[in-house]
Amino acid sequence: MDKLLRGVRHFRENVFNHRRNEYLRVAKSQSPLALFITCSDSRVDPELLTSSGPGDIFVLRNAGNLIPPYSRASNGEAATIEYAIAGLGVPHVVVCGHVGCGAMRALLEPNLLTDLPMTESWLSHAHSTRAIAERCCADDAAFDERWQSLVEINVVSQLEHLGTHPTVAAGLASGSIELHGWIFDFHQGQVSGYDSIAGRFIPLNGESPTQYRPRWRMPMQQSTQVERREAV
């Protein structure tokens, strides 16, 4: 706790005073550039990773960067997604996983969850991740290889879940939002983005944005064009 308290003092004396105007500006209202959904892992720092300042990103964190498919049951993830998109009008949503994710390891080694019943229940939202991995990963693949595959598959699976939320579906149909799947490798300091066309993650260099569209979702403009051609 002493380290945290010293950090608060450092922030007040050395950070806030130099960025006072910036904080005063965002204190009036917020207009974040993106909803950033990532893991609660203490080694992942969304603001540091994206060089973001106050008001730049709206962050949602949980174990495994999971997004429960939409349902009428209330949950914090659904409320945060709805507010970010419908309330704040964010144009981008990023789902960011990371190498060495403990939640993904637990899918491979369920015994790790023996004394963690709530965590085990939460990871039910990654059942599709595990099912895809069991079908696609080679039986003789090394443990670390299967672990990394789970991390990648999970990001794409959670993007699919994200598309079931009404505000996201409406945003995709109107073209007002874009979805992005990222993975952070803190060994290399590298972020990779999912390329829907290539079907794989590619390194991001600041000039190569990637976008993900749920496989079952068709843009409204394209759908309208198809209907017009059929009518003719």
Q: Where are the domains positioned within the chain?
A: 1-30, 33-231
Helix (H) or strand (E) holding 95: strand 92-98
pTM: 0.88
Distance between CA atoms of residues 14 and 20, nearest Å = 11
Mean pLDDT of 121-139: 85
- What is the model's pLDDT at position 213? 67
Tell me the CATH number of domain 33-231, given options 3.40.1050.10, 3.40.640.10, 3.20.20.300, 3.30.479.10: 3.40.1050.10
pLDDT digits (tens, 9 = 90+) for 88-125: 999 999 999 999 999 999 999 999 999 999 999 999 99
pLDDT digits (tens, 9 = 90+) for 29-60: 999 999 999 999 999 999 999 999 999 999 99
Closest CA to 154 of 179, 177, 178, 183: 183
- What is the model's pLDDT at position 209? 66
pLDDT band of 215, cuts 50, 70, 90 = low
Distance between CA atoms of residues 118 and 112, nearest Å = 12
pLDDT digits (tens, 9 = 90+) for 3-20: 999 999 999 999 898 899
Rg (CA), the chain: 20
